[in-house]
Amino acid sequence: AQTVTQSQPEMSVQEAETVTLSCTYDTSESNYYLFWYKQPPSRQMILVIRQEAYKQQNATENRFSVNFQKAAKSFSLKISDSQLGDTAMYFCAFMNGKLIFGQGTELSVKP
Amino acid sequence: GAVVSQHPSWVICKSGTSVKIECRSLDFQATTMFWYRQFPKQSLMLMATSNEGSKATYEQGVEKDKFLINHASLTLSTLTVTSAHPEDSSFYICSAAKDGSTNEKLFFGSGTQLSVL
């Protein structure tokens, strides 16, 4: 069975600075997708970024980028120029037929 | 596009009653939908995978007779919590896979907060 581990329950960062959220996963599959989702206090799940495992190039979406290390089964999220609106729970997720979430990291961006 | 509507947003019910939660894909067909449960400050736990026209596939530890899932059309899946008890109080979220491909990104409903008194 696949598992997703986020070892940082809470993180904080100063506005405009950069923060990296960690995620590791375990799978025997070779083809899969990885995601980072944001869940603000409204609890609506918002897709931040998506990575196909067969692509070596790291995905980037504006201020958000990932460091995907397939051999190490690591998928970290870097948020650059952090903004107050980035304050939320962030979930790493693995998908191969069904979407499995990590435990989450609560990120606080401080002014 | 790609909107998933989930209703109700919140519901309060008495212990022993049943509650139905609807999940609709408004502008796309969804062969597969997923149901999650989330406790405060915790992650989303996958409960079951709902496939149109067939029986749902439940995750280990999820009682299929308690959490009834029906996916009668390509745009609607329902979760019925039967004989609800206070321990069933939780936030329930559905998601839908567009175009029947479960490896495409999923679209999430806004969730249902269930409180059982």
In single-letter form, the type of residue at position B108 comes to F
pLDDT recorded at residue B103: 57
CB pairs under 8 A between A and B: 45
Given B34, B38, B42, which is nearest A98 (Cβ)?
B34
- B70 Cβ partners below 8 Å, 6+ apart? B50, B77, B78, B80
> Is A95 touching B (CB cutoff 8 A)?
yes
* CA distances from residue B70 to A4, B27, B97, B101 in whole angstroms, order as listed: 28, 20, 16, 19
Given A42, A98, A106, which is nearest B46 (Cβ)?
A98
Which residues on chain B are in Cβ contact (under 8 Å) with A102? 43
Q: Kindly report, residue by residue over A21-75, the tens digit of the pLDDT.
A: 999 999 998 889 999 999 999 999 999 999 999 988 999 999 999 999 999 999 9
Taking an 8 Å cut-off on Cβ atoms, the answer to whether A97 and B102 are in contact is yes
pLDDT recorded at residue B59: 95
Strands (E), A15-111: 19-21, 24-26, 33-39, 46-52, 60-61, 64-69, 74-79, 88-95, 99-101, 105-110
Under 8 Å between Cβ of B41 and B63: no
- B91 Cβ partners below 8 Å, 6+ apart? A43, B37, B38, B39, B40, B111, B112, B113, B114
Q: Kindly report, residue by residue over B34-82, the tens digit of the pLDDT.
A: 999 999 989 999 999 998 888 899 999 999 999 999 988 889 999 999 9
> Is A43 touching B (CB cutoff 8 A)?
yes
